[in-house]
Structure 1
Amino acid sequence: MSAADTHTATFTVSGMTCGHCVSSVEEEVLEIPGVSSVEVGLESGRLVVSPNPVDPAAVRAAVDEAGYTVTAEE
């Protein structure tokens, strides 16, 4: 694990099909207290949240609120 990896938490999100999906996930996850940045890859389904640690349950709830599902946490 590199030093950069310790500052981020990575999740896999399923169900996203367009840019609006990405925006919805970003908006919901950014509302989690303490989260300063979110990157979402549409094709990969990869969600990178910083800083870490972040509460995985809060991320799952935010993604669910956006209408999608976290299928894995790295």
Structure 2
Amino acid sequence: MKNVTLKVEGMSCGHCVNSVEGAVKKLGASGKVDLNAKSVTVEFDESKVSLEAIKEAIEDQGYDVVK
């Protein structure tokens, strides 16, 4: 399993947390949002899902992955 912390712009509330964590979960990964740090820490199996797919899923929810 790989852990990556991504900087995500545009999150400000509980709905944002649920949207981002839900999008990551649908891919078979787990994510934990930190609103104060404007980041999400994702744990995923690289053989099942790519980091690029995770970033795309978050961006599809309307947020910007900046790192």
TM-score by length of 1: 0.75
Number of aligned residue pairs: 65
| Percent pairwise identity | 37
In 2, the alpha carbon distance for the partners of 1:41 and 1:29 equals 14
Gaps of 5+ in 2: none
Give the secondary-structure state (helix, strand or coil) at the position aligned to 1:44.
Answer: coil
Contact 1:9 1:52 in 2 (8 A): no
Which structure 1 residue ranges, 4+ long, deviate > 2 Å from structure 2? 51-54
Aligned pair 1:56/2:46, yes or no? no
Q: Which structure shows the bigger proportion of residues in strand conformation?
A: 2
How far the C-alpha of 1:7 sits from its partner, in A, is 3.5
In 2, the alpha carbon distance for the partners of 1:43 and 1:52 equals 26
Select which of 22, 38, 49 maps to 1:45.
Answer: 38
What do you get for the CA RMSD once the two structures are aligned? 1.6
State the structure with more CA Rg.
1
How far the C-alpha of 1:51 sits from its partner, in A, is 2.9
How far the C-alpha of 1:62 sits from its partner, in A, is 0.8
Contact 1:7 1:50 in 2 (8 A): yes
In 2, the alpha carbon distance for the partners of 1:7 and 1:57 equals 13
Q: What residue identity is the alignment partner of 2:33?
A: V
Aligned to 1:26: 21
In 2, the alpha carbon distance for the partners of 1:62 and 1:11 equals 13
In 1, the alpha carbon distance for the partners of 2:59 and 2:16 equals 12
Gaps of 5+ in 1: 1-5
